[in-house]
């Protein structure tokens, strides 16, 4: 989170004081962090957004300590119940505790990515999707912006073709082909996100490429890769970081949508989208809770992220 705030603060373009080693000195770094935090608190919308996001991040991190049930534990005697003292938010159609499914669902989105039944890696599924899309998109954008010519033409036309395909169709085909798993959700988010990032990075690269310090690096005899990743990329980070923040929101949105269509995480795992899809069948039968809570969860998280990003953007624009 600090890293992101720091990055947005940098977008303001106020501080370019960088120590000779290429890293910001320590006190400088702390000051910039403080400035980043103060930007958040200067905007009411950003504070509200931050509070919502922090709420979900903390329940996701501490999920195992916040509930006596596991998300898979079934209570056959109490299916489809409303909120009560034993189950704070009620139970779903198999008697699983909704609160624990909800917070373990947040965990899958924000904190861990399950690879197989017993194996998981840190970093939420949505975050991994954005990260890999950034990695590939940045590389493609840098390379085609820096080299130009036929390489640029080919890469950009291919990305144009991908962008022309309706996003929902891409998701459907990718997920129907790959099957439902967290890894495949990451792949789908990556394929859909890459073209946009590549375009952004390319346009930034086209601009920065003409600067003198790039000429200087080239004259020094640095390799193209050095020029791209050490000279151009750090100078383009501001817009990229803001874009990435919004993309986290899209990725959570996409994860929910995929889950809802039955293309997200495979069934027993707690996934907000698929919880809604299952719960939907019982709404008209008189038990709305299983569909209501995950809808509230995903809506609040995405709205929180956007409030935060909006507030930050407005405040940093005011500084400019």
What minimum distance in Å lies between the beta carbon of 178 and another protein?
7
Counting contacts by CB under 8 A, is residue 153 touching another protein?
A: no
Q: Report if residue 172 touches another protein, rule: CB under 8 A.
A: yes
| 173 part of the interface to another protein, by CB under 8 A | yes
* 152 lies in the binding site for another protein (CB under 8 A): no
Q: Of 114, 14, 29, 51, nearest to 305 (Cα)? A: 51
- Beta strand ranges found along the chain (DSSP E): 112-114, 120-122
> How far is it, in rounded angstroms, from Cα 72 to Cα 50?
30
Tokens of 73: 């534990």
What Rg value do the Cα atoms of the chain yield, rounded? 22
> Looking at the DSSP assignment, which residues form a beta bridge with residue 114?
120
Cβ-based nearer residue to another protein, 235 or 257: 257
CB distance 146 to 208 below 8 Å: no
In angstroms, the CA 246 to CA 249 distance is 5
* Cβ-proximal residues to 67 (8 Å cutoff; 6+ apart), any chain: 97, 99, 100, 103
CB of 154 to another protein, least distance (A): 13
Query: Minimal distance in Å, beta carbon 177 to another protein?
Result: 4
Rounded to whole angstroms, the Cα distance separating 186 from 108 reads 12
Q: Which stretch binds another protein (CB under 8 A): 56-64, 91-99, 115-123, 159-167?
A: 159-167
If binding is defined by CB under 8 A, does position 148 make contact with another protein? no
The conformation of residue 232, written as its DSSP 8-state character, comes to I
- 94 interacts with another protein by CB under 8 A: no
List the one residue from 79, 282, 306, 313 that touches another protein (CB under 8 A).
306
Give the burial string for 256-294 (b: 16+ CB within 10 Å, else e): bbbbbbebbbeeebbbbbbbbbbbeebeeeebbbbbbbb
Smallest separation (angstroms) from another protein to the CB of 107:
19
Q: How many CB atoms lie within 10 A of CB 44?
A: 10
Q: List the x/- string, 247-286, binding to another protein by CB under 8 A.
A: --x---x--xx--xxx----------x--xx--x--xx--
- Does the protein bind another protein through residue 45 (CB under 8 A)? yes
> Is 302 a residue that touches another protein (CB under 8 A)?
yes
Is the CB of 63 or the CB of 291 nearer to another protein?
291
HEC profile of 76-121: CCCCCCCCCCCCCCCECCCCCEHHHHHHHHHHHHHCEEECCCCCEE
179 binds another protein (CB under 8 A): yes
The site for another protein, by CB under 8 A, has a size of: 43
Q: How far is the CB of 4 from another protein (least distance, A)?
A: 18
Distance of closest approach, residue 130 Cβ to another protein, in angstroms: 16
Under the binding rule (CB under 8 A), the answer on residue 176 touching another protein is: yes
Give me the residues that bind another protein (CB under 8 A), please.
45, 160-161, 164-169, 171-179, 249, 253, 256-257, 260-262, 273, 276-277, 280, 283-284, 288, 291-292, 295-296, 298-299, 302-303, 306-307, 310
């Amino acid at each position: 989170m600090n890293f992101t705030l720091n990055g947005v603060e940098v977008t303001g373009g106020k501080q370019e004081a960088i120590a000779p080693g290429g890293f910001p000195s320590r006190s400088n770094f702390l000051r910039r962090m403080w400035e980043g935090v103060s930007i958040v608190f200067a905007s009411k919308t950003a504070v509200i957004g931050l509070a919502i996001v922090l709420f979900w991040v903390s329940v996701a991190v501490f999920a195992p300590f916040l509930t006596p049930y596991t998300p898979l534990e079934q209570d056959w005697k109490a299916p489809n119940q409303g909120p009560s003292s034993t189950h704070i938010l009620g139970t779903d159609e198999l008697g699983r505790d909704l609160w624990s499914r909800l917070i373990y669902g947040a965990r899958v989105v924000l904190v861990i990515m399950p690879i197989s039944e017993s194996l998981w890696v840190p970093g939420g599924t949505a975050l991994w999707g954005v990260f890999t899309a950034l990695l590939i998109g940045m590389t493609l954008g840098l390379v085609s912006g820096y080299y130009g010519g036929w390489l640029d033409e080919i890469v950009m036309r291919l990305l144009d073709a991908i962008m022309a395909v309706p996003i929902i169709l891409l998701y459907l085909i990718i997920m129907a082909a790959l099957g439902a798993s967290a890894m495949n959700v990451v792949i789908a988010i990556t394929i859909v996100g890459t073209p946009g990032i590549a375009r952004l990075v390319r346009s930034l690269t086209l601009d920065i490429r003409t600067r003198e310090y790039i000429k200087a690096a080239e004259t020094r005899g640095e390799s193209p890769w050095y020029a791209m990743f050490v000279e151009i990329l750090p100078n383009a980070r501001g817009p990229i970081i803001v874009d990435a923040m919004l993309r986290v929101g899209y990725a959570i949105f996409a994860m929910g949508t995929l889950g809802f269509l039955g293309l997200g995480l495979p069934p027993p795992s707690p996934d907000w989208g698929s919880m809604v899809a299952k719960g939907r069948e019982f709404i008209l039968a008189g038990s709305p809770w299983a569909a209501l809570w995950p809808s509230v969860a995903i809506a609040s998280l995405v709205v929180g992220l956007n409030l935060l990003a909006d507030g930050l953007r407005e405040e940093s624009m005011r500084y400019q």
